[in-house]
Amino acid sequence: MNIHAYEKAWLGVSLVLIVLFIATIVYGTVGAGVAMVDDSGDPVNPDNLNEHREFSDPGVEQVGEDEYRVHVIAAAFYFNPGSPQFEPIQVPANSTVTFHVTSRDVIHGFSLPGTNVNTMVIPGEVAEITVEFDEPGEYGLICNEYCGINHHNMEGMIQVVPEDEYQPEGEQ
């Protein structure tokens, strides 16, 4: 069988493309840390968050030298803390922050544009997502799952403050 030289070249190019596509998918899932929402976290009772060890008093908690844990309750139509009627979420720069988010009512989103934080928040489940904040700045927090009439107003704020200006919660 005689394969034309151009045909051979294109066969080679398409093989390389296939390998590249597979490589980008592998990078996307492993390298960039993209993960699906799963039920690996502890389930919670959405009707009884006031009794929950962590969600009864949601907020920022230091768990290591530069590591913080933030519990957030999403509900129609606010994030507690984070939304204007609650405390803003404040963490220092150069920190690693893990958000634990659950919903009191329906499915919400928890998205911080400009970071890798973008997760679904499901009642009964705890979404867990880690982000590194290197620079001081403000990040808008938005719900990106349609959750009702005021979905478009469901928003909040994360303030990343310079390390020497950071005041742990309760000492402000």
- Least separation in angstroms between residue 115's CB and ligand CUA is 18
- Least separation in angstroms between residue 121's CB and ligand CUA is 8
Comparing CB distances to ligand CUA, the nearer of 55 and 77 is 77
> How is residue 128 written in tokens?
């867990």
C-alpha to C-alpha distance for 98 and 96, rounded to whole angstroms: 7
Which of 89, 112, 127, 154 forms a contact with ligand CUA (CB under 6 A)?
154
Radius of gyration of the chain (CA): 21
> How is residue 5 written in tokens?
């030289």
Which of 129, 141, 147, 158 forms a contact with ligand CUA (CB under 6 A)?
147
The interface region with ligand CUA, picked from 6-14, 80-88, 143-151, 156-164 by CB under 6 A, is 143-151
Which of 94, 151, 155, 157 forms a contact with ligand CUA (CB under 6 A)?
151
The answer to whether the peptide bond before residue 77 is cis (omega within 30 degrees of 0) is yes
Element (H, E) at 72: strand 67-75
**Binding-residue pattern over the window 61 to 100 for ligand CUA, x denoting contact by CB under 6 A:** ----------------x-----------------------
Comparing CB distances to ligand CUA, the nearer of 27 and 146 is 146
Say whether residue 145 binds ligand CUA (CB under 6 A): yes
Instruction: Give the amino acid at 15.
Output: L
Cα separations in angstroms, 28 against 18, 25, 150: 15, 5, 33
Angular region, 10: left φ>0, alpha ψ -120 to 50, beta rest: alpha
> How is residue 162 written in tokens?
């310079």
Binding site for ligand CUA (CB under 6 A): 77, 108, 143, 145-147, 151, 154
